[in-house]
Structure 1
Amino acid sequence: MLKVLTAGLVATVMMTGVALAQETTIRFTLGWKTQGSDAAFFLAKDKGYFKEEGLNVTIDQGEGSGATVTRIMGGAYDAGFGDVNAIIQNSSTRPEDAPVMVYMMWNQPPFAVVTKTTSGIEKPEDFQGRTLGGAQGTPTTRLLPVFAKKNGLDMSKINVSNMAPNLQEPMMIRGDIDGALVFNITSYFNLVLNRQDPDKDYRWFQFGDFGLDLYSNGLMVSRKLIKENPKAVAGLVRATNRALMEIAGDQDLGMKAAVNFDNLINVEVEKRRLQFSFEKLIVSDEMKEIGVGDIKDDRMARAIGFVVEGYDLKRTPTPAEIFSREFLPARGERNLVYTKN
């Protein structure tokens, strides 16, 4: 009997070892420091959804949603959460190295100009003769001339003051600048942390509402991973989608996973950020039509055109170079229904 048990135990250990040996490690980078809006990745890891797909996903904090692209291109990471517009920029010059977006999470762009309601700025034309603070190189700052052209503004009449991102809200609060060129999901909560009321006391000019119908952040992977292990890419997308569906109905579930990843986060603020991401960036009429994770090719083509113009790119990538729907779960599995709780 002992021999039988021992043999069975050895067989189990050997089978487990084989399973572990076959598990694919994916090095994943976030777009920034730990935020509630990243909860789907934490939940997929916590609940074993990545593991069920045969994946060992290691998650690191990021240095900016644009930096996600360069981190993957440099080979340090296989996948990450970042800005599709940074893919467009890099694909223009290095199409063979730029990552591919495989799951579009933020259907709406976060790029915005925010002003105090007391500033007297009530429409884009009012930016003329004013000073806007922008961090050099960020999409909002770089695309401002395209925004101006689209809305009939004279850029020579708009003063842009270059500054570090962490100075934008404080300088606007003090009145040193008339408005700031920001990511709404970042700036909104910077204002909250500065004891401001971003809804009552500030006005938001979203680029997407004024002609720049851009896409934004999502799950991207390296071309190397797609070529060498497409099954792993499909599993990564499937697990992330599964977690996002759950969090759409229960944000507390997502926050628990976020705290497990980083117990130093401000839970109240990050839960609001998570909800903000659904309400302002994920849920849209288009998302309801085509399902979360997908895009419309004609809209992507227009978005590529805006980025090519804003960054003065020499080559215009095609939508197929930037986004692949090859790894998306079936449409019925991407029917996201958001319920705030």
Structure 2
Amino acid sequence: MIDRLKRLARAAAGAAALGLCLLALPAAAHAQTRIKLTLNWKYEGAQAWFFLAQERGYFKAEGLDVQIDQGEGSAAGVPKVAAGTYTAAFGDMNALIDFAARRPDDAPVAVYMLYNVAPFTVVVKQDSPIRSPRDFEGRTLGGPATDGALKLFPTLAKVAGFDPAKVRINNMAPNLREQMLLRDQVDGVFGYVNTVWFAAKLSGMDPDKDLRFIKYADYGLDLYSNTIMFSRKFAKENPEAVKGFLRALNKALKEVVADPDAGIAAVLKREPLLRADLEKEKLLATMKRDMSHPEIARIGLGDVDDARLKRAIDLVVQANQLGSTPAVSTVFDRGFLPARAERPTHF
């Protein structure tokens, strides 16, 4: 009888332990907060830090389950996050400003500035008669509808002094941009300097000899560009998840700066058909051209200068005749950033 009671007690204890384990499983699963991220463009070398953070388990170590999808243009992520299709996006700050002026309650919030130098450009052939933005009048320009440079065209017109209504705009698929320019189907194309430069090189052109870049920054547009943005609702309800995401990304970013080849290897695991040499060149050019504004020595990569961002907001609002002017704090929240000492201050 005593042995039987002992056996029953052991069985009960085992069942209780099993029950506790089963109860713990949902809690463990719940610990991985899911984040869906859409990038600015197709997978490429200049996104290396996202893939390295995922490959080395930095997101997972922060309790995050991060899905990374390719994008359709730097402006396309804003409405996708606003609609709840994605939790976060890597996209254009100026498109975010425009959206926030129109729909402030739905607009995402930027939390980490990556591209602090304006990369926007209109690209023409080297022998084109177009020499400045005023020469756009009477011409046909083309680009993807979600391209950040195209979205900012009215702002360029405002500061450069030409009538955008006198310019014909041809929307095209991103993969046709350089070929349509080469075949004279358009007089110029919108894009980011690095994006067009490397796409042209990959298609067999010599960008330095065959193309000219009319850069927005040369005409007074001192704008920020691509930033990490999150759903406002998600950031409010999950502040530690946003902080953890940025810690993981910032860690991977510093490692890519120290070892670009490791970053490119992570990209190639996601997209094996890419050329490693070209993607590394693109990565290094992006860090040099798009992420090296002198202000980062003072405030660190990821942060913004409030006065500079305020000027950019005013410019976008005025040029697009928007009905309201978002506050700096509405479009950018530095409260999620890693400490300044942890963020890069030069490249």
TM-score range, shorter chain: 0.7 to 0.9
Alignment partner of 1:333 is 2:346: no
SS of the residue 1:308 aligns to: helix
SS of the residue 2:255 aligns to: helix
| Shift in Å, 1:33 | 1.9
Residue 76 of structure 2 aligns with an amino acid whose one-letter code is A
Cα 1:120–1:220 change in 2 (3 A) is: same
Aligned to 1:159: 167
Output one character per residue of 1:86-108: Cα deviation in whole Å (capped at 9) or x when no partner: 21122112211111110000001
Cα 1:278–1:16 change in 2 (3 A) is: farther
| Shift in Å, 1:64 | 2.3
Cα 1:209–1:287 change in 2 (3 A) is: farther
1:308 pairs with one of 317, 320, 326: 317
Aligned to 1:77: 86
Cα 1:67–1:270 change in 2 (3 A) is: same
Distance across 2 between alignment mates of 1:162 and 1:74 = 27
Cα 1:155–1:78 change in 2 (3 A) is: closer
Distance across 2 between alignment mates of 1:42 and 1:304 = 31
2:184 pairs with one of 175, 180, 204: 175
Distance across 1 between alignment mates of 2:178 and 2:302 = 32
SS of the residue 1:112 aligns to: strand
| Shift in Å, 1:221 | 0.8
Aligned to 2:3: none
Output one character per residue of 1:105-156: Cα deviation in whole Å (capped at 9) or x when no partner: 0001221022222224444454456543344564423433432332334556
Distance across 2 between alignment mates of 1:29 and 1:149 = 31
Larger mean CA deviation between 101-110 and 278-287 belongs to: 278-287
Distance across 2 between alignment mates of 1:25 and 1:134 = 33
Distance across 2 between alignment mates of 1:218 and 1:149 = 24
| Shift in Å, 1:270 | 2.1
Alignment partner of 1:229 is 2:226: no
Distance across 2 between alignment mates of 1:255 and 1:137 = 26
Alignment partner of 1:68 is 2:77: yes
Distance across 2 between alignment mates of 1:86 and 1:155 = 18
Aligned to 1:320: 329
Output one character per residue of 1:231-290: Cα deviation in whole Å (capped at 9) or x when no partner: 111111111111111111221111111122222333333222222211111112122332
Is the CA contact 2:48–2:266 (under 8 Å) kept in the aligned structure 1? yes
Aligned to 2:206: 197
Distance across 1 between alignment mates of 2:267 and 2:209 = 29
Residue-pair matches, total:
332
Alignment partner of 1:261 is 2:262: no
Aligned to 2:98: 89
Say which one has the larger Rg. Answer: 2
Alignment partner of 1:287 is 2:296: yes
Distance across 2 between alignment mates of 1:150 and 1:331 = 34
Output one character per residue of 1:60-93: Cα deviation in whole Å (capped at 9) or x when no partner: 2222222211221121221121111221122112
Alignment partner of 1:217 is 2:226: yes
2:259 pairs with one of 250, 263, 267: 250
Aligned to 1:144: 153
Residue 316 of structure 2 aligns with an amino acid whose one-letter code is V
Percent sequence identity is 44
Segments of 5+ residues of structure 2 without an aligned counterpart are 1-9
Aligned to 1:113: 122
SS of the residue 1:309 aligns to: helix
Cα 1:127–1:75 change in 2 (3 A) is: closer
Larger mean CA deviation between 268-277 and 242-251 belongs to: 268-277
Distance across 2 between alignment mates of 1:27 and 1:171 = 34
